Amino acid sequence: MPKENITIKDIAARAGVSTGTVDRVLHNRPNVSKSALEKVNKALAEMDYRPNMYASALAYNKTYDFYIVLPKHEQEAYWDEIEEGAQACTDFRRDFGISLKFVYYERFNHQSFTKMARELFTAKIDGVIIVPSTLEQTSRFTQKLMERKIPYVLLDSYMPDLKPLAFFGQDSFASGYFAARMLMLIASKEKEIAIVKQTRDGNVGSKQQANRETGFRHYMVDHFPEIKISEVDLPLDEERKEYDTILEKFFKAHPQIHHCITFNSKAHLVGEFLQRSNRRDIQIMGYDMVHKNEECVRQGSISFLIAQHAYQQGYASVNALFEAIVMKRAVTPVNYMPIEILTKENVAFYRRTAI
C-alpha cells in the first residue's frame, strides 16, 4: 500500500484497535493504554507510516502569533529588506493561521527595549524573531521567553549563549576579514585608509558591526601592517547636513586617503558626498544592497558592496518558526548567509529571493 494513502482506518485494522485510539496516538492525546499504544506503534512501524504534516496542521485550524523585534530605522535601510522577506513568508504560510506583527525599539536606549519587552509580554505569543540589543538586555528578554517556552530566532548578531532556536546572518568576523581582502586588491599600494563609523557615545549600532571591524583589522595586521588606518565618525545624533562638513575636514587633513570602508549600510553617506563635491580620487566600500548604496555603485563613488541577503534572512526566520512550531520539525540552529560582493558590473543582477 502506498505510504501516502494509509488511513487511520488502515492502521486501526492492522493494530486491532479503534480508529479513535489511533487518532489519540497520532496526536499525542491522553487516555491510551500501554497495550494499545504498543500495538499502534508496532503497526505504524510495520506500515512505515509517515503522516501528512501539512494536512494535519491545516486540519487543526489553529492560529499562530509571531512577532519580530527590530530597531527603529529610516526607510531605505537594511531592515526594510528583512521586513519584506518576513512578510513574504508570512503571506505564503497564511493558510496555516500565521500572523506576524512588527515591534520596534530604539538602539542605544535601554528603556525603549525594556518597554517594548514589557508590552510584548501582555500579548499572546507563539514565536519571536529578535534583532538583539545588548547581550545583557537581550539575555533578560530571552530568559523570560524560555520560562514561557516560547521559541525565538536571532537575526543579525549571533549570541550562542542565548541558545536560540535558530540564527540567520553572516559570520561577521569572516565578513570583515573578507572585506579587507577585497579592498586590498585595489588599495595595496596605499599608505593610509579610513574606516567610517556612525556611533553614539562611542558605540556602533550593533555587535555585528563591531565584529566586522575586528575581522577587517585582523586581516590588515596579518597582511598589511604598514598601512595606517584612520577613523572618521559621523555621529548618529548629527544632522546629515553636518556630515559634509565632517567629511570635508577629514579628507583635507588626510590627503593620502583614497579608499575607505564602513561596516553598516550607510556607505552612501560618503558616496553622495563624493559625488556632490566631485571627488573622483576617493572611493568607499560598504555593506547592503539598499537603493542609495546601489545608486552610488552605479555612479562609481562606491567601489564594492558586500551583500548579506537581508530579504532571505527575514523570510527564513519566519519559516524556521513555522517549521518548528506548526510542523513540529527540527530546524538547523546556525545558518550563515553567503558573503557576496557586488560591483558596478553585477549589481543589476542581484535579486532578493527566499531560501
Output 61 or 95, whichever has higher pLDDT. 95
Residue 56's pLDDT is 60
Q: Count CA atoms within 13 Å of residue 322 on its CB side.
A: 24
Output 142 or 55, whichever has higher pLDDT. 142
* Model confidence pLDDT, tens digit, residues 154-186: 998 888 899 999 999 999 999 999 999 999 999
Report the distance separating Cα 142 and Cα 191, nearest Å: 46
Which of 94, 92, 114, 95 is closest to 103 using CA atoms?
114
* Model confidence pLDDT, tens digit, residues 104-130: 999 888 899 999 999 999 999 999 999
Query: What ranges do the domains of the chain cover?
Result: 8-51, 64-169+310-338, 172-307
* Stretch among 210-219, 315-324, 338-347 having the lowest mean pLDDT: 338-347
CATH architecture of 8-51: Orthogonal Bundle (1.10)
pLDDT surpasses 70 at 52: no
Place of cell 565632517: 246
Residue 132's pLDDT is 92
Residue 89's pLDDT is 95
- Indicate the CATH number for domain 64-169+310-338: 3.40.50.2300
The DSSP secondary-structure symbol of 324 reads I
Rounded to 10 degrees, the C-alpha dihedral 32/33/38/44 comes to -20
Domains 8-51 and 64-169+310-338 share a fold: no
Fold held by 172-307: Rossmann fold (3.40.50)
Report the distance separating Cα 42 and Cα 17, nearest Å: 12
Q: Do 104 and 79 touch, CB atoms closer than 8 A? A: no
Confidence of residue 58 (pLDDT cuts 50, 70, 90): low
